[in-house]
A and B are shown apart, each in its own frame.
Chain A
Amino acid sequence: MVFAYIANLLALAGIYGIVGISLNVAFGYTGLANLGHAALFGIGAYVSALLALSLGLPFWAALLVAGLFAAFIGWLLAWPTARLRGDYLALATLGFGFIVESVFKNWMDVTRGPLGIPGIPKPELFGFVFASTESYLLVVAFFLAITYFVVKRVVDSPFGRVLKAIREDELAAQSLGKHTHRYKALALALSGFFAGIAGSLFAHYITFIDPSSFTIFETILAFSIVIIGGMGSVEGALIGAALLTFLPEPLRFIGFPSAIIGPARQLIYAGLLIAIILKRPEGIRGEYAFGLGEKHAKSKQA
């Protein structure tokens, strides 16, 4: 009984962990502040749901295609934003995120707009359906492990070192002969891939998706995970995801008068977020204090 409740939280934490790791690739390692990250998550969710429902694709294939498609969008996103730095990049990706949300809401023929897509099927393997929360947790854990190992290998590789160099000082990296635009594109593609996978896992878990699950607030959540867990730390993203998923839960047990439950919990959640950033802005496992992707001349900063 109790375990189903905990299992639900663990499954969500796992999915958000993948989201956090995927954002870390773009933001934590490469310094690209993709404020439209929830859009990649949402694209993965919608693609997976639609493939499973209209083409009858099995979950595993739908998930893979969703990841690849989101990766492709991430890769595409890199090219027009290649010239943009810092805040401009953040703003452009913010705009991208909102445009994608608009598409989800208005492309009624495909996404059914605000009506959402219900009845998304659960994964099946050799006749076994992963219907219960506990069994779905296994699926999430499986993909989380894959994400962790793949990303860990990537960031510890020479490729990963170039990404970090781009974050620190892109001009220097370029002067060393690196085609930074290509690296950024790959970083965003990789980020998109895992965000898309997380989106697929999310869609097949909740079994219903609509545009309101993929808004700026989900992007804020993703960034909170990365910042609290620590920029540039894969383990940090997991810690951040676990913390932010489990954090609001004890609030349920504190007996608020029912009149203020809704806003009170949000208040405390936001308050805790603020407190954590104030106390430890580099995050739990973070290595450094950060800007929005561009090395700035400290003396000019007010």
Chain B
Amino acid sequence: MKLAALIPVLAIVLIAGCIGQTIAPAGEEPIKIGAILPLSGPAAVWGESSREGMEIAREGLAAEGVDVVIIYEDSEANAAKGLAAYNKLKDLDNVDIVFSEFSRVSVPLVSLADDDKVPLIMSLVSADGVTEKSNYTFRYFTTASQYVDPHFEGRLNSDNYQTIGVIHLSDEYGESVAKWIRLRAAENGIEIVAEEKYDPGTLDFRTQLTKIKEKAPDAFLFVSATPTEVAGILKQARELQFASDIFEASSVLSASAARAAAGSAADGVYTNAYLFSLQLTGGDFRSAYIEKYGKDPLFSAGLAYDAVNMIAKASDGKKISGQQFVENMLALKTFDGTAGNVTIKPNREINPDLISVRIVNGTLVR
């Protein structure tokens, strides 16, 4: 295939695509959601899971006669790619609502969505204050302090814990949570004797773990983003014979796949669980997901599923203006989803609950 022949072919596809998108179909217009997810790279496990959850929601709504179209774009967890994706979804696909994941992709989109008056719903975003800059931004996820408080309020505030060691992922999520750990530790008079970090994609944590073990803290806290990281950290900590109590200041272990990967290393570890992970809520969704995909859903699938349903509900099942959508969302005040009954706050924060639990024989125990 000659290079010269390739260019016109691609150009034609591009132009055809552009034209095709701008010709609006006749008839009742469906609700169009643009989903900007991390579908490749180390974070792909979350993007994939979210997409799967959204598909189940879409199918469920279609069965009820509500027409929802979801167009997926890969952000590659990269800000520039996310921006390009947003532009394409907004200008070419004319989406009504944008759903985006990960702080570093979603934060730059806030001002754009605000200018365009397009509602932006974020999940898997823990950065502080993301909904402050725009009236069109909603966050449906836990904030960084929510990973820390359940442990400190119930367990770490006892006198048994005078010192803690911390290891966290070196990205905006890990840093945000680490900041709250420092804050809460200071408030409780607990000394952080070791603070280590690791890059995304790391498989060998032994160096950092050795440094923490050497200080022999009473408790060892870790902040991670993927099941692979959690399994690695716990296994290697066990091999090194950590004597400390182990706490996860994130929520990866609430997913059964993560616990399975960590195996016996997860026993006795404290983590944060969504009500969904405790199987207290979202049963219908869980069954539908297992039936379709043959595996247990991650909580991200449930949250993305909820997001689609929330969007459909606030849209009255049809295409409406951005402003109207925002008003409707706020008017809902609460929503029953896989994360239980959540409050839609006036500042457009929708924060699911997290509870501190302990892992016993692979199951979550309060």
Contacts and interface: CB of A to CB of B under 8 A. Distances in A.
A touching B, CB within 8 angstroms: yes
A145 interface: no
Contacts, number: 122
A246 interface: yes
Contact of A262 (B14, B21, B70, B76): B76
A76 B221 CA distance: 42
Nearest to B115: A131
Interface stretch (A18-26, A110-118, A182-190): A110-118
A41 B115 CA distance: 29
A210 B175 contact: no
Interface in A1-31: 1-6, 8-9, 12
Nearest to B88: A5
A285 to B, nearest CB: 12
A262 B172 contact: no
B79 A247 contact: no
Contacts of B172: 114-116, 210
A249 interface: yes
Given A208-B104, A261-B72, A254 B111 contact: no
Given A115-B175, A206-B83, A258 B72 contact: yes
Contact of A253 (B20, B175, B176): B20
Interface residues of A, number: 47
Consensus secondary structure, chain B interface? helix
A5 B92 contact: yes
Interface residues of B, number: 53
Interface stretch (A48-56, A151-159, A165-173, A273-281): A273-281
B104 A210 contact: yes
A104 to B, nearest CB: 11
A2 B1 contact: no
B13 A250 contact: yes
B295 to A, nearest CB: 14
Contacts of A174: none
B22 A114 contact: no
A81 interface: no
Contacts of A265: 74
B1 A250 contact: no
Contacts of A6: 18
A252 B88 contact: yes
Contacts of A202: 80
Contacts of A246: 10, 14
A261 to B, nearest CB: 6
A257 to B, nearest CB: 10
A180 interface: no
Nearest to A6: B18
B80 A206 contact: yes
B13 A254 contact: yes
A9 B39 CA distance: 21
Contacts of B127: 115
Nearest to A218: B80
A243 B199 CA distance: 32
A135 interface: no
Given A114-B175, A262-B47, A284-B3, A210 B79 contact: yes
A258 B170 contact: no
A207 B111 contact: yes
B6, B38, B80: which has the most chain A beta carbons within 10 Å? B80
B218 interface: no
Contacts of A4: 87, 90-91
Contact of A212 (B39, B77, B88): B77
Contact of B3 (A9, A108, A213, A279): A279
A3 B90 CA distance: 11
A130 B265 CA distance: 55
B76 A8 contact: no
A259 B175 contact: no
Nearest to B20: A253
A89 interface: no
A261 B47 CA distance: 11
Contacts of A80: none
Given A2-B22, A12-B84, A258-B55, A114 B79 contact: no
A222 to B, nearest CB: 14
Interface string B47-59: 1100100010000
B26 interface: no
Interface in B52-69: 55
A158 to B, nearest CB: 34
A284 B17 CA distance: 26
A213 B39 contact: no
A1 B22 contact: yes
Contacts of B176: 115
Contacts of B351: none
Contacts of B84: 8-9, 12
Interface string B309-320: 000000000000
Given A246-B10, A258-B70, 11 more contacts: A4-B91, A5-B88, A5-B91, A108-B175, A113-B175, A116-B107, A212-B77, A261-B74, A262-B44, A262-B74, A272-B6
Interface of A: 1-6, 8-9, 12, 105, 108, 113-116, 118, 131, 133, 202, 206-210, 212-213, 243, 246-247, 249-250, 252-254, 258-259, 261-263, 265-266, 272, 275-276, 279-280, 284
Closest 4 CB pairs of A and B: A262-B39, A253-B17, A262-B40, A250-B13
12 contacts: A1-B22, A3-B91, A108-B175, A212-B79, A243-B7, A252-B88, A253-B13, A258-B70, A262-B74, A262-B76, A272-B6, A276-B3
